[in-house]
Structure 1
């Protein structure tokens, strides 16, 4: 049975999660974890033009003092990496055959800008790149939100709650093998990554996961980035 402390249990009324439902946010965090992608979006937002040629963007985003080789590399990064990621996240429309890019004003990026700018100007225990990369995975976000509601949990209890959140069903209705898969992914991947970033401590001997002070510090920007419309 999971345990709680005096902190408010925020998981009870949390929306249900699933890989399919959270995939757009996964893609958005993954794309925005790259500073060049964020700079590119800012450039598109601030421009009066409706559409852009990728070649022109490469020129505009390359410092005038850089060499022609730098511009060529920027063009390659835009074409092969940044623009496909931004398109997958629904932040831009990208036609690689025509080399044409259009910003999608209905995307969530502009709602996230105040939080992004505030985070970049503040002194947080992790960089914005690291934060976005860390939470570009729905299960890792769910585990973090669960710990925000409990502060510390045994790893089996954390796996139970993450499984309930993902499947949207009471624990007895979820296949034990599915819960085990959640547990193993937390044990091998997600908790170690949260730990390496300093957000949690994992006591392997007692099988307990605890949110650190740094983990609590990131609650406000994390929630704002996940649900920018609520700000």
Structure 2
């Protein structure tokens, strides 16, 4: 696996932060659920602590009583704990109180989310957030945006350089191989199934599709919302 010398310079790589990328992983994982996005919008707009009953009413619409019971269970056991674990809300389960955490993270993403939802896109927002919920997959996409098409070994080299923040010559070959294998078996096939890339596994080659190119702007905005 080799790349040109210019790609080996760690100074040219995207600054990589384990803490930042873990935060994005959790944030995108939660935002991949439409109900969670609705909850975050409501909490941001009302800007006050709310009771869980209000959130049940918000999501229930014309639900039956049995549906409301199931919805309350999902809120208590899934949605709100995940939002709290991602650092996006404060959730007092005993008192059934919820408030947003005012760290600006959701508000930074919100314009892109709402613009995406209002447009006719070949990929749903739920599916897009699922794709973006892994730091390595995000890095692979950013690299493909720069090259449009690239061999899988070269893609693995560039992702490894970005993750390690070191020139390729200073990265253990086994570490690069692990990046390659994860791209080969997991991340690139998932991007291909979503229609963002064409993947020739026999030739070890990856290329952006028209769908992938169309999503470059919203993906960049979501991954670096403060850079706009």
Q: TM-score, normalised by structure 1?
A: 0.90
Residue number in structure 2 paired with 1:2: 3
2:102 aligned counterpart, secondary structure: coil
Query: For structure 1, which segment, 103-112 or 119-128, has the greater mean C-alpha deviation from structure 2 after superposition?
Result: 103-112
Structure 2 unaligned runs (5+)? 5-9
Residue number in structure 2 paired with 1:83: 80
Residue in structure 1 matching 2:57, options 56, 59, 67: 59
Taking the aligned partners of 1:13 and 1:142, their CA distance within structure 2 comes to 14
Aligned residues of 2:3 and 2:154 also touching (Cα < 8 A): yes
Aligned residues of 1:31 and 1:37 also touching (Cα < 8 A): yes
Structure 1 unaligned runs (5+)? 4-10
CA offset at residue 18 of structure 1?
4.6
Taking the aligned partners of 2:97 and 2:215, their CA distance within structure 1 comes to 37
Taking the aligned partners of 1:14 and 1:93, their CA distance within structure 2 comes to 35
Structure 1 position 228 matched with structure 2 position 225:
yes
Residue in structure 2 matching 1:121, options 113, 118, 139: 118
Taking the aligned partners of 1:42 and 1:21, their CA distance within structure 2 comes to 23
Taking the aligned partners of 1:127 and 1:38, their CA distance within structure 2 comes to 14
Taking the aligned partners of 1:87 and 1:13, their CA distance within structure 2 comes to 35
Taking the aligned partners of 1:61 and 1:19, their CA distance within structure 2 comes to 34
Aligned residues of 2:13 and 2:161 also touching (Cα < 8 A): no
Aligned residues of 2:112 and 2:221 also touching (Cα < 8 A): yes
CA offset at residue 85 of structure 1?
1.5
Q: How many residues align?
A: 222
Q: Where do 1:1-231 residues align within 5 Å? A: 1-2=2-3, 13-47=12-46, 50-63=48-61, 65-231=62-228
CA offset at residue 207 of structure 1?
1.0
C-alpha RMSD of the superposition: 1.7
Taking the aligned partners of 2:211 and 2:11, their CA distance within structure 1 comes to 23
Taking the aligned partners of 1:13 and 1:88, their CA distance within structure 2 comes to 33
CA deviations on 1:6-39 (whole Å, 9 max, x unpaired) are xxxxx97452225443000111111001000001
